[in-house]
Amino acid sequence: MARPTPQEIPALRETARRLRKLDIQMLATAGSGHPGGSLSAADLVTALYFRALNHDPADPQWPGRDRFVLSKGHAVPIVYAALAVAGYFPESQLATLRQLGSPLQGHPDRRRCPGIEACTGSLGQGLSIGVGMALAARWQGAAFRTYVLLSDGETNEGQTWEAAAFAGFHHLDHLTAILDYNKFQLDGAVADVLSMEPMLEKWRAFGWEVRELDGHDMTQIVEALAWATTITTHPTMLIAHTVKGKGVSFMESNNYFHGVAPTAEEAAWALKELDGHGPPPAEFLATVRRGAK
Amino acid sequence: MTAPALQKRLGLATRDAYGQALAELGRRNPKIVVLDADLSSSTRTAMFAKAFPSRFINVGISEANLVGMAGGLAASGLIPFISSFACFLTCKGYDQLRMAVAYPHLPVKVVASHGGISVGEDGVSQQAIEDVALMTSLPGFVVMVPADEHATRALVNAAVDYPGPVYIRTGRPKAPIVHTAETRFEIGKGVVLREGRDVTLAANGLLVWEALAAADALAGDGIQAAVVDVHTIKPLDQALVEAQAKATGAFVVAEEHQVWGGLGSAVAQALARTTPAPVEFVALQDTYAESGTPDALMERYGLTARHLVNAARRVIARK
Ligand SMILES: Cc1ncc(C[n+]2csc(CCOP(=O)(O)OP(=O)(O)O)c2C)c(N)n1
Nearest to A100 among B39, B59, B296 (CB): B296
Helix orientation angle between B238-248 and B263-274, rounded to the nearest 10 degrees? 70
Could you tell me the CATH superfamily of domain A8-285? Answer: Thiamin diphosphate (ThDP)-binding fold, Pyr/PP domains (3.40.50.970)
Tell me the best of A185, A257, A260 to mutate to test the pocket of ligand 1, counting ligand atoms within 8 Å of each CB and taking the most.
A185
Over residues A204-247, the pLDDT tens digits come to 999 999 999 999 999 999 999 999 999 999 999 999 999 999 99
Q: Which residues pair with B318 in a beta bridge?
A: none
* Three-class SS state of B279: strand
pLDDT of residue A4: 84
CB B22 within 8 A of CB B156: yes
- Percent of chain B topping pLDDT 90: 98
Over residues B145-181, the pLDDT tens digits come to 999 999 999 999 999 999 999 999 999 999 999 999 9
Distance CA B267, CA A222 (A): 59
- Range from A118-132, B4-18, B234-248 carrying the lowest mean pLDDT: B4-18
B10-176: CATH topology is: Rossmann fold (3.40.50)
Continuous segment of H or E residues that includes residue A175: strand A175-181
Q: What number of other Cβ atoms are within 10 A of residue A94's Cβ? A: 22
Whether residue B3 has pLDDT greater than 60: no
Distance CA A250, CA A290 (A): 9
Domain boundaries, chain B: 10-176, 191-317
- Residue with the bigger pLDDT between A289 and A68: it is A68
Tell me the best of A44, A78, A123, A157 to mutate to test the pocket of ligand 1, counting ligand atoms within 8 Å of each CB and taking the most.
A123
DSSP A121-152: -STT-HHHHHHHHHHHHHHHT----EEEEEES
- A123 CA from centroid of ligand 1 (Å): 6
- Phi, psi torsion values for A110, nearest 5 degrees: -70, -15
Q: Is the minimum CB–CB distance between B300 and chain A shorter than 8 Å?
A: yes
CB B119 within 8 A of CB B294: yes
Over residues A91-143, the pLDDT tens digits come to 999 999 999 999 999 999 999 999 999 999 999 999 999 999 999 999 999 99
Whether residue B127 has pLDDT greater than 90: yes
Q: For B191-317, CATH number?
A: 3.40.50.920
CB contact under 8 A, B126 and A100: no
- Phi, psi torsion values for A236, nearest 5 degrees: -120, 140
pLDDT of residue B1: 43
Whether residue A293 has pLDDT greater than 90: no
Distance CA B302, CA B240 (A): 26
CB A26 within 8 A of CB A105: no
Q: Please name the residues between 118 and 147 in chain B that touch chain A, using a CB distance below 8 Å.
A: 120-126
CB contact under 8 A, A102 and B291: yes
Over residues B202-230, the pLDDT tens digits come to 999 999 999 999 999 999 999 999 999 99
Q: Is the minimum CB–CB distance between B289 and chain A shorter than 8 Å?
A: no
pLDDT of residue A2: 76
Among B232, B283, B281, which Cα is nearest to B258's?
A: B283
Kindly give the pairing relationship between strand B56-58 and strand B32-36.
parallel
pTM above threshold 0.95: yes
For all residues of chain A together, what is the average pLDDT? Answer: 97
> Residue B254: how many CA atoms within 13 Å on its side-chain side?
33
| Interface test with chain A among B67, B92, B114, B121, by most A beta carbons within 10 Å | B121
pLDDT of residue A122: 98
pLDDT of residue B26: 97
Q: Is the peptide bond before A198 cis (omega within 30 degrees of 0)?
A: yes
DSSP A37-73: HHHTTHHHHHHIIIII----TT-TT-TTSPEEEESSG
Residue type, A162: E
Q: Please name the residues between 66 and 125 in chain B that touch chain A, using a CB distance below 8 Å.
A: 87-88, 91-92, 120-125
Distance CA B258, CA B284 (A): 5
Sequence-ordered list of residues with C-beta below 8 angstroms from that of B249, at least 6 positions apart, any chain: B199, B277, B319
Over residues A27-36, the pLDDT tens digits come to 999 999 999 9
Nearest CA in chain B to A193: B60
Determine the average pLDDT of the residues in B72-94.
98
Task: Give the CA dihedral B281, B285, B288, B293, nearest 10 degrees.
Answer: -60
Q: What is the ipTM of this complex?
A: 0.95
Distance CA A132, CA A163 (A): 9
Domain boundaries, chain A: 8-285
Q: Is the peptide bond before A281 cis (omega within 30 degrees of 0)?
A: no
Q: Which residues pair with B111 in a beta bridge?
A: B168
DSSP A62-114: -TTSPEEEESSGGGHHHHHHHHHHHTSS-GGGGGGTTSTT-SS-SS--TTTST
Question: In the structure, which protein residues have their CB atom closer than 6 angstroms to any atom of ligand 1?
Answer: A 34, 36-37, 40, 72, 74, 121-124, 151-154, 180, 182, 184-186, 244, 258; B 38-39, 61, 88
For all residues of chain B together, what is the average pLDDT? Answer: 97
Q: Let me know if the fold of B10-176 is the same as that of B191-317.
A: yes
Determine the average pLDDT of the residues in A48-55.
98
Secondary structure letter of residue B186 according to DSSP: B
